[in-house]
Amino acid sequence: MMLTDQIFYFLDYLYIEKNASPLTIQNYKIDLEQFIDFISEKYEIEKNEIGLDFLNHKEVRDYLIYLKEKGLKPSSSARKLASLRSLVRYLCRENILDDNPLAALSTPKQDKRLPKFLYPSEVEALINAPDVNTPFGQRDKAILETLYASGIRVGELVSLNIKDFSLHDDFIKVRGKGDKERLVPLGSKAREALGIYIEKGRNELLKESCEEAIFLNRFGSRLSDRGVRGIIDKYISEVSCNLKISPHTLRHTFATHLLNNGADLRSVQEMLGHVKLSTTQIYTHLTRENIKAVYENTHPRR
């Protein structure tokens, strides 16, 4: 059996059975093809001649060493290893492999980096940056308010449809990873911004009445992840040239501010749509830093 064929079947499985997003599938494809390239160059063989026997502990370990020597970040190497592990688990489930050849392989040690977040004053400045007298400004303010109020991923934001939101409801319906649905609370300011945009700005941007997406681009069709990044970059440059953030920063900010103000970890986990509590726990490091700062600024015998 050829490895390239099994990668094709694996990506097909992710799309059909796991409902993985196009971006997720593309990332898996890139990671797995890079391993194929490594084996092809190392042994000077054609890619379509690489068999499953090359998917073993030694070759993957050598691949990780190669990535490190090329200067790849440990986090990127860990992701590429995770892609190979997912492929191996699939092959084991399909009884194509008898056992897992990567079971004893260690994940590259990663630097513990805390996620970036904004302070309340920075959030306020960013959200107030759009010109709400224009359709695009109304849309952009609704986007910023929604991301900060709900903590949803950008992919989840652009997937929102009109039927997922009601002015009279305190929740929005979100489709997360694996097409799983969850209800996420939405504050009054975000609901107000969404209401203004849907009633005014969206109607001006809309070209086809059958379009279901809430957030539209200038062509009247669904806004993309990339489009949201461009919107945030635009307002960040207007507000401050010193801030370096991505759309995901607003998700980090949402979680950090909730925990700083007393929210429990389990509730934040559910709102973020994290499967594992350990994924949410990284934000407790941020709140500890906040507590430490408060102590150092207020305790008389610090």
For residue range 146-184, list pLDDT tens digits in order: 999 888 888 899 999 999 998 788 888 988 777 778 888
The end-to-end CA distance of the chain, in Å, is 66
Cα Rg of the chain, angstroms: 23
What is the CATH architecture of 3-93?
Answer: Orthogonal Bundle (1.10)
- Single out the catalytic residue among 175, 251, 252, 257: 251
Give the per-residue pLDDT at 42.
94
Catalytic residue check, 153: yes
Catalytic residue check, 177: yes
111 compared with 48, residue with greater pLDDT? 48
Residue 272: pLDDT over 90:
no
Q: What mean pLDDT comes out for the span 125-132? A: 93
Residue 257: pLDDT over 80:
yes
Give the per-residue pLDDT at 228.
92
Closest CA to 250 of 231, 263, 222: 231
Domain borders along the chain are 3-93, 120-296
Residue 263: pLDDT over 90:
no
Q: Which long-range contacts (CB under 8 A, 24 or more apart) does 93-101 make?
A: 96/1, 96/6, 96/52, 97/52, 97/55, 101/55, 101/56, 101/57, 101/60
Protein fold of 120-296? hpI Integrase; Chain A (1.10.443)
What's the chain's average pLDDT?
86
- Single out the catalytic residue among 29, 177, 222, 229: 177
Catalytic residue check, 175: no
Q: Do domains 3-93 and 120-296 have the same CATH topology?
A: no
- Single out the catalytic residue among 153, 175, 191, 202: 153
Which residues pair with residue 174 across a beta bridge?
Answer: 182
Closest CA to 234 of 298, 105, 139: 139
| CA distances to 27, 42, 138, 157, 250 from 148, in Å | 27, 47, 16, 11, 5
Residue 248: pLDDT over 90:
no
Number of residues that this document lists for the chain = 302
Give the per-residue pLDDT at 23.
85
Give the per-residue pLDDT at 258.
83
pTM for this entry: 0.60
